[in-house]
Chains A and B, each alone.
Chain A
Amino acid sequence: MQPSALLRLTPRQRRGSPRPVTVADPAPRAPVPPAADPAVLHQLVVEHGDAVYRLALSVVRDRGLAEDIAQETMMKAWLALPSLRDQGSLRSWVLRIANNTAISTLRARRAIAVDPRDLPEAEAPVERSVEARVQSDAVVGEFVAALDTLDELSRSIVVLREVEGLTYDEIAAVLNVPLPTVKTRLLRARRRLSTTLKEWA
């Protein structure tokens, strides 16, 4: 089995490396509010940072890029938060920004990359400390390989449902797709991924 892309990903620590190509920016073009409260940013990051990162990683499959997208998402959310009328939908709103940013980034990359092999890929083995604690490389590798066979929309759907615990309706709203899409892609993703999970027991 080919080593999977996700398994070979590590956090990018290339300070100063180029930022992803410009992405769609739902944040207002108005000047940065001088009174933006750092405590609000802290709360946003602590409460939603991990979920945003996981969603971004499920789309772009590159840890460095996922972190860039998470950062961009947090900045947009922080600046635009005062305009959010329904604070109850904060999580869905932040995840929607993250998904839009990730999709825009991926499209921009694809527009530049003529060769599909130039698309975001892994650079080095995944953090062994995390992986080794749980299962052997082969078992985890099989699971990640199955995850890689899914398209990015299906990966987003299964992550939002199985990790973040969103309802079908919430997922449809976050990803801006019809409900049947959520149901059918989830069905297929569960089927493919669950077959590799038997070895995890």
Chain B
Amino acid sequence: MKLRHPSKAVLRDWLTGEIEPDTTGTVERHLDTCARCAATLEALEPAPETPSGPDSSLGSALAIVLAPPGDLAQRLEEGVTARLSSRQMMEVVADLFGAGLETTRLLLIEGDDDDDS
């Protein structure tokens, strides 16, 4: 059965969040592919009161609440380097025993557990 276009009232409710949870999924699946309803929605909603983009108040507010740690770059570099060192070591072991990388990883992890117990 072909999905019918949601009414303007339903689209308005979806915008404001005043919509039944069961209906939300149906409306969103329709909006995902229906350019006509997307246009209807845009016509319903007046131009945003705040400008758009990174320099807007909305962009600034989002950047504040999602702010990364100050030393993120250094931590990422160190973390990636450590991960790769571990992976390279496993590749050497895997090569020695002729096992696959994932098999070696599982064996090494299992061995650690045995040591701990």
Which residues on A are within 8 Å of B, measured CB to CB?
A: 6-7, 11, 29, 31-32, 36, 38, 41-42, 45-46, 49-50, 53-54, 57-58, 63, 67, 70-71, 74-75, 78, 126-127, 130-131, 134, 140, 143-144, 147, 149, 158-159, 161-165, 177-181, 183-184, 187-188, 190-194, 197, 200-201
Question: A78-B80, A162-B59, A184-B41 in contact; A67/B50 too (CB < 8 A)?
Answer: no
B72 touches A183 (CB 8 A): no
B4-44 vs A, Cβ < 8 Å mask (1 yes, 0 no): 00000000001111000000000000011111011001100
Q: Which of B54, B57, B83 contacts A163 (CB 8 A)?
A: B54
Selected A-B contacts with CB under 8 Å, 11 pairs? A31-B88, A41-B81, A50-B72, A54-B62, A54-B66, A187-B41, A187-B42, A187-B45, A191-B15, A197-B50, A200-B61
A32-B91, A49-B73, A194-B49 known; A180-B66 Cβ under 8 A: no
Q: Which of B16, B42, B84 contacts A183 (CB 8 A)?
A: B42
**Across the interface, which residues of A come within 8 angstroms of B68, CB to CB?**
49-50, 53-54, 57
Q: How far is the CA of A180 from the CA of B35 in the complex (A)?
A: 6
Contacts A50-B72, A78-B80 given; indicate if A162 touches B54 (C-beta within 8 A): yes
What's the nearest-Cβ distance from chain A to residue B39, in Å? Answer: 9
A169 to B87, CA, bound (A): 36
Add 13 more A-B contacts to A190-B48, A197-B57 (CB < 8 A).
Answer: A7-B65, A32-B84, A49-B73, A50-B68, A54-B66, A67-B76, A71-B76, A165-B54, A180-B37, A184-B31, A188-B15, A190-B50, A191-B15
CB distance from B6 to the nearest CB of A (A): 11
Q: Which residues of A contact B62 (CB under 8 A)?
A: 54, 147, 158-159, 162-163, 193
Check A162 against B64 for contact (C-beta < 8 Å): no
Taking a contact as CB atoms under 8 Å apart, the answer to whether A130 and B67 are in contact is yes
**Most chain A Cβ neighbours within 10 Å, of B32, B34, B62, B87:** B62
CA distance A201 to B58 in the complex (A): 11
Does any Cβ of A come within 8 Å of B56's Cβ? yes
Q: B66 → chain A, closest Cβ, in Å?
A: 4
Given contacts A177-B32, A181-B31, A194-B58, contact A67 B66 (CB under 8 A): no
Top 9 nearest A-B pairs (CB, nearest first) are: A180-B38, A162-B59, A71-B79, A53-B68, A54-B66, A184-B31, A181-B32, A75-B80, A45-B76
Complex CA distance for A31 and B91, rounded to whole angstroms: 7
A75 to B63, alpha carbons, bound, how many Å?
Answer: 24
B61 / chain A contacts, CB cutoff of 8 Å: 143, 193, 197, 200
Beta-carbon contact of B66 and A11 below 8 Å: no
| Residue with the greatest number of chain B CB neighbours at <10 A, chosen from A31, A58, A140 | A31
Q: Which residues of A contact B80 (CB under 8 A)?
A: 41, 45, 71, 74-75, 78
Q: Are B72 and A53 in contact (CB under 8 A)?
A: yes
A122, B91: Cα distance in complex, Å: 37
